Amino acid sequence: MTADPPIAMRERTRRIVQSELTVVAQDLFVESGYEAVTVEQIAAAAGMSKRTFFRYFSSKEDLVIGKYDLFGDKLAESLAVRPAEESVWEALRRVFDFFVEYVDDPKLRERRAAMERIVQSTPALNAAYLEKMSRMQKLLEEGVAARLGIDQRTDPRPGAIVGAAFACLLAAQVTWHESDQAGSFGPMLDDAMAAFHLYPPTAR
Amino acid sequence: MTADPPIAMRERTRRIVQSELTVVAQDLFVESGYEAVTVEQIAAAAGMSKRTFFRYFSSKEDLVIGKYDLFGDKLAESLAVRPAEESVWEALRRVFDFFVEYVDDPKLRERRAAMERIVQSTPALNAAYLEKMSRMQKLLEEGVAARLGIDQRTDPRPGAIVGAAFACLLAAQVTWHESDQAGSFGPMLDDAMAAFHLYPPTAR
DNA sequence: GTCATATTTGACACTCGGTGTCATACGCGG
DNA sequence: CCGCGTATGACACCGAGTGTCAAATATGAC
């Protein structure tokens, strides 16, 4: 247990440096665009060498979208906790409340909107973003398959359902982002997901 | 008109060099993995310099997934041609017959399956693939919005519906790819898309 | 066939993202 | 104050991708 305090300490300072880097980098991205800003510039603006930057982020992309790595497990746990009598579609909608909170958060709104614009308009970032989403989806598929009592290895429906739910999430996000963003993101997501009705799974 | 023949000629030889490069590169990828093969190795194996490689493909990724750029417009046209009385979901399924033909094509099956494995297992490629898909989706959204008579700038449903259809396509593709691949890909896609029923769009 | 012209190619130098290595500086517990 | 482990910077290096320019090659007119 004597090893705990220093580790926690290091981890804390590490987080601080990371968020400092994130802020500095985002300001530069907003000013000049993602691709026009080099890692060396970010590092210099944060008072460190390029080599040290890569000790805090595994890549330039990671600085922007790395945070989504943490989301996946949270979502899967959140799905596991949903009551069994709830429909799969409804359960997924409730799981997405996590995103709704994130999008609605008034403290982050300005900054998040700016970064979203940059991600949407930078193909490399958008690609990486979609890949993260696809990883989250995979983590949820197992839970959905279990709920439906079907085998995800031979039945495409768990993947299709989770993918469709994420498609709703992304579509709502884009529309929301291009709207005036008054009120909550929740109803927009509800609209998107309400376009679908799931047939009860049939045995095969 | 005298300018036509040479252009067609150059374009033809260009295609030939491109497909030669693709074959050579795919063989190398299958042997050693995408990332382990350098562009210089591909170029050397095809008897040209690295600089010349980049005159035929804008990037290493482009060599693998660049062909999908052409799909988008075809899909959009294909949707525009679907009869108006057909439901949106059914129309999208019919548009996907294009993919079904592609996947079923017995001449390409072996090679395509090998490349699919590589794309699935290489994050950078998978990300780029998803990004291409997302571009195709955008091209179809307008047509879907028109069919439904709703405004895609303020209503998330066109994007959600197209995205959901593509989610079915991807899920079916993954499941298909992990199956014995006997028979046609079509029924697998039907299964995935049959999990959903679309509510008729309501005015807002 | 010959010449003029346009295109293709290779060679080279360069930028940027990312990694391995090593010596040094720093913070901490004894 | 000393020893130890971690953080850092400097440097060299690799691979993807681009700009430039000169040489090679193909094309068209005559």
**Burial of residue B194 (number of CB atoms within 10 Å: 0-12, 13-18, 19+):** middle
Range with lowest mean pLDDT among A48-57, B5-14, B26-35, B100-109: B5-14
CA of B117 to C1' of D29 (A): 53
Range with lowest mean pLDDT among A26-35, A109-118, B46-55, B164-173: A109-118
Q: Chain A to chain B, count of Cβ pairs less than 8 Å apart?
A: 140
* B176–A168 CB contact, under 8 Å: no
CA of A137 to C1' of C19 (A): 31
A193 to chain B, any CB pair closer than 8 A? The answer is: yes
DSSP B201: P
For the segment A3-22, the average pLDDT, to the nearest whole number, is 81
Residue with more model confidence, A161 or A4:
A161
- Specify whether the CB–CB gap between A123 and B131 falls below 8 A: yes
Give dist(CA A92, CA A193) in Å, integer.
10
CA atoms within 13 A on the CB side of A87: 12
At B153, list the tokens: 């700038």
| Residue B138 with chain A: CB contacts under 8 Å | none
CATH superfamily of B64-193: Tetracycline Repressor, domain 2 (1.10.357.10)
Mutation site, B92, B100, B122, B155, interface A, largest A CB count within 10 A: B155
- Specify whether the CB–CB gap between B158 and B148 falls below 8 A: yes
How many other β-carbons are positioned within 10 Å of the β-carbon of residue B141? 21
Query: What's the pLDDT tens digit per position in A148-196?
Result: 999 999 999 999 999 999 999 999 999 999 998 888 999 999 999 999 9
Query: What's the pLDDT tens digit per position in B37-79?
Result: 999 999 999 999 999 999 999 999 999 999 999 999 999 999 9
Residue B22: what pLDDT? 97
- Specify whether the CB–CB gap between A90 and A147 falls below 8 A: no
Residue B8: what pLDDT? 72
Nearest-CA residue to the C1' of D8?
A: A52
Query: What's the pLDDT tens digit per position in A75-106?
Result: 999 999 999 999 999 999 999 999 999 999 99
pLDDT at residue B186 above 50?
yes
Give dist(CA B179, CA B174) in Å, integer.
9
- Specify whether the CB–CB gap between A125 and A35 falls below 8 A: no
What is the assigned CATH class of domain A4-57?
Answer: mainly alpha
pLDDT at residue B15 above 70?
yes
Residue A182: what pLDDT? 87
Q: CB under 8 Å to B34, separation ≥6 — which residues?
A: B64, B118, B122, B124, B125
Give dist(CA B130, CA B120) in Å, integer.
10
A156 to chain B, any CB pair closer than 8 A? The answer is: yes
pLDDT, chain B, mean: 93
- Give the domain ranges of chain A: 4-57, 65-193
How many other β-carbons are positioned within 10 Å of the β-carbon of residue B60? 19
Write a three-state SS string for B144-166: HHHHHCCCCCCCCHHHHHHHHHH
Write a three-state SS string for A120-140: HHCHHHHHHHHHHHHHHHHHH
- Residue keyed to tokens 């990371």: A18
pLDDT, chain A, mean: 93
Q: Indicate the pLDDT class of residue A204, thresholds 50, 70 and 90.
A: low
Q: Which of A104, A109, A87, A169 is nearest to A134 (CA)?
A: A169
For the segment A109-116, the average pLDDT, to the nearest whole number, is 92
- Specify whether the CB–CB gap between A165 and B156 falls below 8 A: no
Residue A34: what pLDDT? 98
Give dist(CA A33, CA A152) in Å, integer.
41
Range with lowest mean pLDDT among B2-6, B68-72, B100-104, B115-119: B2-6
pLDDT at residue B1 above 60?
no
Q: Indicate the pLDDT class of residue A10, thresholds 50, 70 and 90.
A: confident
Query: What's the pLDDT tens digit per position in A134-158?
Result: 999 999 999 999 999 999 999 999 9
What is the assigned CATH class of domain A65-193?
Answer: mainly alpha
Query: What's the pLDDT tens digit per position in B119-157?
Result: 999 999 999 999 999 999 999 999 999 999 999 999 999
Give dist(CA B57, CA B48) in Å, integer.
13
- Specify whether the CB–CB gap between A142 and B130 falls below 8 A: no
The C-alpha of A150 sits at a distance from chain B's nearest C-alpha, in angstroms, of 13
* B192–A157 CB contact, under 8 Å: yes
